[in-house]
Amino acid sequence: MDDMDHENDTRDEWLERVAALPETAEVVPEQWEEIRAAIAPGPARRWWVQAAAAVTLLAGGLAGGFAAGTRHAAAPRSSIDEAMALAAEVQRTGSEYVAALAAFTAVVDSLSADARVQGRDAAIATLVGAASELAALTDAELALNPLAAPGGAGAGRVRF
């Protein structure tokens, strides 16, 4: 009985000490400027401008690359147009994916646990699929141009 009472006293003392811990920090890092920058509407608009610029650069780069390539080996015009269209499609759907993910993230706090998990899993599955295709693209590219791989099959074979 004494032991039990002692146990209860110990528990009560312990609980009192825990309950007496302050809920609020008195010294808090000043973070308002960072938060204000993060919530400002500007970055979203800038992001779209950057995405549009990236499409332009990508298309320009592709056009330049194809133009240089066709000086030596004239590729059929239709295949160039098709490649550019596909690259632009990759850029457009990629941008849509990021925008959709941002929209999901913005509302995630209001969703049920199931919906959050479902949305996150869908986002990850899409990303994994894209990464897999990108890895295949890189492999195919390296097979065409081994010298592009640092330390790859072509490295060390360059002779001047």
Partner 1 sequence: METAIDSIPERDAAEMALARARRGDPNAFETLYREHRGRVYGLALRMTREAGAAEELTQDAFVRAWRALPRFRGESRFGTWMHAITVRTYLQSKRSMDRRSEREVEDEDMDRYAFAARRAMPGTDIDVERAVARLPDGAREVLVLYDVYGYRHREIGEMLGIAEGTSKAQLHRARTLAREFLAR
Contacts with partner 1, residue ranges (CB under 8 A): 10-11, 14-15, 17-29, 31-32, 34-36, 38-40, 106-107, 109-110, 113
Report the phi/psi class of residue 151: left, alpha or beta, with left for phi > 0 and alpha for psi in -120 to 50. Answer: left
**Which is nearer to partner 1, 29 or 150 (by Cβ)?**
29
Pick 40 or 49: Cβ nearer partner 1: 40
Question: What is the closest distance, in whole angstroms, from the C-beta atom of residue 43 to partner 1 in the complex?
Answer: 11
Dihedral sign (CA 46, 51, 54, 59): negative
Give the list of residues 6+ apart from residue 9 with CB closer than 8 angstroms, or none.
Answer: none
Name the residue nearer to partner 1 (CB basis): 63 or 103: 103
Tell me how far, at minimum, the Cβ of 96 lies from partner 1, in Å: 20
CB of residue 14 vs partner 1: minimum separation in angstroms? 5
Contact 108, 116 (CB under 8 A): yes
Residues with Cβ within 8 Å of residue 130, at least 6 apart in sequence? 94, 97
Least separation, in Å, of the C-beta of 105 and partner 1? 8
